Amino acid sequence: MNKYFGWIRIAAISVGLGALAFALYVIVFWSGAVVEVVRAQEREVVELLVATGRLEVQPVSDLAMDVSGIVESVHVRQGDRVEAGQALVELRQDEAGQRAQAARLAARTARRELGRARAGAPEEQIAGARAERERVRIARDLAQRELSRSEQLYSDGLMTAAQLEAARGQFAQSVAAERSAQASLDLLESLPRSEDVAVARARLQEAEAAAVLAQGDVERRVLSAPFSGLVLQRTVEPGEAVASGAPLIRLANMGEAEIRVETDENNLAQIRRGQRATAIVSARPEQRFDARVSQIGPEVDAERGVVEVRLTPRALPAEVFPDMTVDVNIELLRLDAALSLPRSAVAEDQQGAYVMIVTEGRAHRRGVQVLARGADWMAVGGLADDEQVVLRIIDVEEGQSVRAQEVEGVL
C-alpha cells in the first residue's frame, strides 16, 4: 500500500513540474521576450575561400663547375638570397689568369697595329724619308763629280787604276743608297695598302679569339648564379678539390614559386583564374603576401572529392622558404555596397536562407537570397533596409511574441 501511494506522489510531482514548465513557456512565448534587432545596412562584404597548402619552388638547380680545381673561396651560405650573375664559388686561377692577361695584351697590341695600318705613315716619318732621300742624292752627286775627276786624273796619268776603281765603287754605292731611299719614301707615301690592313685585321681577329678563349677559361673557374634565388644547400668549403660536374650549390628560383592547395570540388563553380588571395605563412603569421589564382585542377581526387588549386605569389617575404605551410584566403566575391546583416541574423535550412522579421510584436520567417558570405556579415537580397531583423535568430521561433530592442553600431 505504501509503495502504491509513493508512486502516486511521484506522478503528481512530475505532472506539476510539467505544468509549471509549460506555463513558463506560454508566459515567455506569448508575453513577448525582449530580443535585439538590427536593420540591414550597406557595407562592403568580401566572400573568402580558406584553404591550406604548401609553397613549392620549381626549378631547383644543382650548380656545378665545368672544370676541376681547388676551391679558392665560397661567397654564400645556406639561406642566402642571391642575384642572377652573382659569384657563388671561385676556383684558384693558377696559370689561367696569367694566360688571359697575356692574351688581352696581345689583342691590344694587334688592335694598335691595325690602327697604324689603316692610318698610313705619320707625316713626320714621311718627312724624315724625304730628308734622307735628299741627303743620299747630294752624296750621289758628290760621288759622281769625284768619279769624273778621278777619270780625268787617270787619263793624265796622275791616278792609279786602283784609285779609279775605288772612286767607281763609291759612286755605285751612292746610287744604290739613293734608290733605296726613294723606294722607302715611295712605300711610305703609298700607305695605307689594302694588303697590309688585311694582314693586320687577321692578326687582330686571331688575337681577340685567343683572348676570348683565355677569358672563358678564367670564367669557368667562377660559379655564378644563373638566376636570382635562394641557396638551399652548400656542399663545398675553401681549399677542397672539386671535380667537373660535381654539385656544389643547390639554388631555388623563388621567382617561380607557387602555392598549391586543395579544396572541395563543390567550390569549383566559385573559383576563377586571376582571383586575388592573401597568403599567410603558418609558422610566421606576420608574414603575409598577395597572390593570385593561376591554375585550377584539372585533376580531381575522386576518392576525397578535392581539386588542386595553384596560386602565384606577387612577391615573397624574405623569411619565406620552400615547402612551408601556407594558409590562403581566396577572394571569391567582393561587393562594395550591399545590404548586409550580421551572420548571426541569417539561418539556412532545406528551404533556403531566411531571417526573422519583427512585425506587430511577433517574429516571422522571411526568406532571403544570400549574395555573399563574409567573415562576419552576409550580403542579402529580398529585404528592405527599414525592417527589423532579429540579431540572434536562434533565440526566437516563428510566431513568437517579442519586444524588439534595436541595436546600433553592430560591428
pTM of the entire predicted model? 0.58
- pLDDT tens digits for the chain (411 residues)? 455 545 556 655 665 565 555 544 544 444 568 999 999 999 999 999 999 999 998 878 999 998 888 999 999 999 899 999 999 999 988 777 778 888 888 889 888 887 777 666 677 887 888 888 888 888 888 989 888 888 888 888 888 888 888 888 898 898 898 899 888 877 776 666 667 778 888 888 888 888 888 787 888 889 999 999 899 999 999 999 999 999 999 999 988 899 999 999 999 889 999 999 999 998 888 888 999 999 998 888 888 999 999 999 988 887 888 889 999 999 999 999 899 999 999 999 999 999 999 999 999 999 999 999 998 999 999 998 889 999 999 999 999 999 999 887 665
Rg (CA), the chain: 51
- Predicted pLDDT at 17: 60
Q: How far is CA 201 from the centre of its chain?
A: 43
Q: Do 311 and 258 contact (CB within 8 A), yes or no? A: yes
SS3 318: coil
C-alpha cell at 145: 763629280
Closest CA to 313 of 303, 324, 302: 324
Residues 373-407 pLDDT 10s? 998 999 999 998 889 999 999 999 999 999 999 88
- Predicted pLDDT at 13: 64
Task: Name the one residue in this structure whose C-alpha cell is 642575384.
Answer: 83
- Predicted pLDDT at 106: 87
Residue 96: its H or E element: helix 96-119
- Predicted pLDDT at 158: 83
- Predicted pLDDT at 26: 47
- Predicted pLDDT at 29: 46
Q: Do 52 and 263 contact (CB within 8 A), yes or no? A: no
Task: Name the one residue in this structure whose C-alpha cell is 588549386.
Answer: 309
**Residues β-bridged to residue 363:** 358
Domain boundaries, the chain: 49-58+254-334, 60-92+221-252, 98-216
Output b/e per residue, 176-200; b: 16+ Cβ within 10 A. ebbeebbebbeebeebeeeebbeeb
C-alpha–C-alpha distance, residues 359 and 48, integer Å = 34
CATH T-level assignment (fold) for domain 60-92+221-252: OB fold (Dihydrolipoamide Acetyltransferase, E2P) (2.40.50)
Report H helices in 270-360.
none
C-alpha cell at 392: 540572434
Q: Going by C-beta distance under 8 Å and a sequence separation of 6 or more, which residues neighbour residue 20?
A: none
Residues 338-380 pLDDT 10s? 999 999 999 999 999 999 999 999 999 999 999 999 989 999 9
- Predicted pLDDT at 28: 46
SS3 18: helix
Closest CA to 293 of 313, 307, 273: 273
Residue 210: its H or E element: helix 194-219
Is domain 49-58+254-334 annotated with CATH 2.40.30.170?
yes
- Predicted pLDDT at 155: 87
- Predicted pLDDT at 119: 66
Q: How far is CA 39 from the centre of its chain?
A: 50
SS3 338: strand
- Predicted pLDDT at 214: 78
C-alpha cell at 8: 502516486
DSSP 175-204: HHHHHHHHHHHHHHHHPSPHHHHHHHHHHH
Query: ∠167-172-173 over CA atoms, to 5°?
Result: 100
